[in-house]
Each structure stands twice: as structure tokens, then as C-alpha cells.
Structure 1
Amino acid sequence: MIAVIIPAHNEARRLGRCLKSVKTAVDQAQQAGHQVEVVVVLDSCTDSSAAVAKRHGVHLLHIDARNVGTARRCGAAFMLRRGARWLACTDADSQVPPTWLLSQLGCSAEVVCGTVHVQHWQPWQTADLRKLYRSRYQAQEGHRHVHGANLGICAAAYERVGGFQPLPAHEDVQLVADLQASGARIVWTARHSVATSSRRDSRARDGFADYLAGLQAHLM
């Protein structure tokens, strides 16, 4: 079974778009003969994220950790107990392409690190900021970016290294580093880029929003 794991903290505004894109990717994988299940890990949500997720018929986990590493870890543990053999991770403010799951499996690897792209830049994000961001980002095969919004892991390799650590940030980077150290076969690809938000209100400190803010500060 393929498991899709999505952590969410007060993401009612964006979660529906995420789950709609995931459903399209799930449908393609199921048409190819794969069983797929989706779980949204609702971490300390005080908005209507749960109601949004329920409308999409996915599994829900409620935790009170306010920690993205813990949320991903809980989601993975839940799906492993259900028999998952592949873990596909994305974020609640992101939208995956239709071929996302099949492309990950097609890489024939233990770990697949994909790229992201900004779908809609915000008005405050100037042309200079966009230029600087693109100059520092390698949207190509063999890149070395790690994004929790676009990450696939073989369940056996994941369990071998102890899974996501309960870190408030960079839990994805730590997991991939642990997998590299274990000798896991990793593919770094740009073939199935995930659209992510250029939001200013970061849900995880030192995440993508804070990275963009740091680039903006560099220009000032």
C-alpha cells in the first residue's frame, strides 16, 4: 500500500486544494493497480481543517504537539501499522502533480527527493526576490534539495533509520541525512515538481516561508 502523509496546523484555507490535487494523483496510482491511503495529521488545529479533511474522505489523526517532525512521525507510524510499503509526504499548503505517486515509484529507489516551485508569488515578493530565489535553486536532475512537501521513502528504509525525528524544523533534512548514512539508494529528481505556497505566515520556523523572508532581508 502507498501512504500519503500530510501534516496540518490551521490549514483550512489551503488544505482543500492540497487534497484535491492528491486525489488526482491517487486516482492515477489506483488505475495502475496500486492501493493508496491518505492521512492528514491535524496538529493543534483550532480552525476548520478537520472539517475540510473529512469532506475528502481521508484518515484523520489529531495530535497536540505543534511540531512538524512529530506530526510526520505519527502519520508514518499510523500508515505503517496499516501495511504501508511506500510513504509519500507532502504539505497542506502544497499541490502535487497528477503523476506524483507513479513518478516516485518509477524512480526504482529507496528514497525520492523531489523539487518544489512557487505557483503564485505574493505582491510583496519583488522581482528581485524571485530572481534571487531562482538563482539559488536547482530545479534539475541531481539537485540536492530536500522538501517535506515532495518526498517519498520506502517503508523498509524508513524503519531502518528510525523514521522522522520529532524536530520542530528540518525533520525532512535529518531523515534524508540518516538515510544517506545508511547507504539508501536516493534519487534526486525534478520530474514531479510540487507547487508550494509563497506564504509569509510560516507554520514551521525555519521553513520555506522563513527562507523566502531571509532572501528578502538579504536584498534590503
Structure 2
Amino acid sequence: MPVHNEEYHLGAALSALAAATEALARQRPSVAVGLTVVLDHCTDRSAEIAERFAGAHAGVRVVRRRFRNAGASRAAGVAAAIRHLGSELLESTWLANTDADSQVPEDWFVRQLQFADAGWDAVLGSVEPDSEGMDPELLRSWHLRHPREERHGNVYGANLGVRASAYRQAGGFPPLLSSEDRALVERLRRRGFAITATDSMRVVTSGRTASRAPHGFGAYLRVLGVETAAALRAAEAGDAAGQLPAGSCPG
């Protein structure tokens, strides 16, 4: 989990991961889980929140970096996790990636390992914008463009799982400011790894339009918001024109 100044979301994100870890322990107690949090040039209370969480939960590693780069942060987190495990365990290790402004469902780890056990090398999950504080029309536009369906064509770093051996062979996350998730998936595809997409484990992510990455999820929502507002204005103008008396014209 990469983190850059997420003090308002980080606590909920970590709590959701703790719940998913407990759910996995109940169903598959033989599986070990480790959480790696990468604090990337944080100047707010994110470090305090992460360290407090690590102190209360076993298996949590906090890594501090100054990249200001999403791809480099993700890559550093994976590298730290692999160093801890040892390269000899790559084939039996699954890397589950999410974001600090997102909340995974309780069965998130369970579902990801089900895909891993089925032979997939990577699974592309879906996301759901948090409706709290989000413009209702923007949320409606999101749902129209992203219906609930399996085999969707989206890639989200907030909900991405990959076999560690496949990740290593593909070259890992490139150090991109944004779209590092899509770049990794393209690397995996070029090498012929088995990839599937699912809507069965949706992650709730921030609905903010102030993006941390130049072409990230928030930037996409901002563009969608502009398009939604323009469509509403056009619809209102059409309604107004339709209400004019017969034989008249606007202006």
C-alpha cells in the first residue's frame, strides 16, 4: 500500500485490511499474511497513523521513502515484502495491492487466493467510488459507465493481485507517476501470463476529484464530472427549447 499524505483515509484503509486478514485467518489459518505500508514523502499524520497500526498488529512493515512517485512506491513495497519472505518463496507468494484511500472488502484476501489457486497469475478487481460527499450526478455517471460485470476491462492499483513469481519475471511496477498498474498488466500480458478480471470483490475508493497522480483515478473522476455537467446543461437547454411556443425560436 503506497501512502502520500492520506491522514483522512489511511485509518479506515488499514482497518479494512485488518478485517480482511482476520477473515483469511479464520478460513485458511495456514496462510501467512504480511502488510507493507510505503510512506512516500508524507508531511501529514500518515506516518503516525501507520506506525500506531503497526504497533498494534503483527506482520505490518512500514517503509519510508521520498519518491513522490506511485510506481516507485509500489515497487519499493513489493521489494520489501519479497526481501522479508525470501526469493525461494516467490511461486507460493501472492501480492495483493491496494491504495491508502481505499477500503477492501472483508473477503478480499480469501477471494484473491481463490483466483490464485485456480491458476491465474493476476486478477484485476473493480472499485466503487465512496458516495460520501460525492456529487450524486457524478456517481450516477460512474455507475452508467461501469456496470457490475465480470471480465471487465479496467485496471485499478487499488484492487490488483499478482503472483510474485510472475511479477518478478515481468519486471514489476515501473517508476511512473501514474498508470503504473496498467503498465505492469501490459508487461504481464506480453509475457503470456494468465490474467482475469472480476467484479466479485469490489474495493471502495475515494470519490474525490483532486487527484494525487496526474492521470490517476481522481483525475478520471474530474474529467467525468466535467462531461456530466456539460451533458446536464445540454439536456436542460433542450428541455427549455422544447417548452417554447410553436413557431418561435430561441434568441
User: For the superposition of Structure 1 and Structure 2, which TM-score range results when normalised by the shorter chain?
Assistant: over 0.9
Provide the rounded CA distance (Å) in 2 between the counterparts of 1:156 and 1:43: 25
**Which residue of structure 1 lines up, in the alignment, with residue 19 of structure 2?**
24
Q: Deviations over 1:173-208 (max 9, x none)?
A: 000011111111112011110000101322111111
| Larger Rg belongs to | 2
**Which residue of structure 1 lines up, in the alignment, with residue 207 of structure 2?**
198
Q: Secondary structure of 1:164's partner?
A: coil
Q: Would you say the 8 A contact 2:174–2:184 is kept in 1?
A: yes
Q: Deviations over 1:125-164 (max 9, x none)?
A: 242x223222221431111110000000000000001100
Residue 175 (structure 1) aligned to one of 180, 184, 189 = 184
User: Does residue 98 of structure 2 align to residue 90 of structure 1?
Assistant: yes
Q: Secondary structure of 2:8's partner?
A: helix
Q: Secondary structure of 1:29's partner?
A: helix
Q: Secondary structure of 1:34's partner?
A: coil
Q: Would you say the 8 A contact 2:131–2:139 is kept in 1?
A: no
Provide the rounded CA distance (Å) in 1 between the counterparts of 2:213 and 2:168: 24
Residue 52 (structure 1) aligned to one of 42, 45, 49 = 49
**Which residue of structure 2 lines up, in the alignment, with residue 3 of structure 1?**
none
More helix by share: 2
User: Does residue 131 of structure 2 align to residue 120 of structure 1?
Assistant: yes
Q: TM-score, normalised by structure 2?
A: 0.82
Post-superposition offset of 1:121: 4.3
Provide the rounded CA distance (Å) in 2 between the counterparts of 1:141 and 1:54: 37
**Which residue of structure 2 lines up, in the alignment, with residue 41 of structure 1?**
38
In the alignment, residue 142 of structure 1 is paired with which amino acid?
A: R
Provide the rounded CA distance (Å) in 2 between the counterparts of 1:200 and 1:144: 22
Q: Secondary structure of 1:59's partner?
A: strand
User: Does residue 83 of structure 2 align to residue 81 of structure 1?
Assistant: yes
Q: Secondary structure of 1:56's partner?
A: helix
User: Does residue 72 of structure 2 align to residue 70 of structure 1?
Assistant: yes
Provide the rounded CA distance (Å) in 1 between the counterparts of 2:193 and 2:16: 29
**Which residue of structure 2 lines up, in the alignment, with residue 104 of structure 1?**
112
Q: TM-score, normalised by structure 1?
A: 0.93
Provide the rounded CA distance (Å) in 1 between the counterparts of 2:78 and 2:224: 32
Aligned ranges 1:123-142 → 2 under 5 Å: 123=134, 125-127=135-137, 129-142=138-151
Task: Between the two structures, name the one with larger relative contact order (CA 8 Å, sep ≥ 6).
Answer: 1
**Which residue of structure 1 lines up, in the alignment, with residue 244 of structure 2?**
none
Provide the rounded CA distance (Å) in 1 between the counterparts of 2:143 and 2:136: 13
More strand by share: 1
In the alignment, residue 46 of structure 1 is paired with which amino acid?
A: T
Provide the rounded CA distance (Å) in 2 between the counterparts of 1:138 and 1:88: 24
CA RMSD of aligned residues (A): 1.2
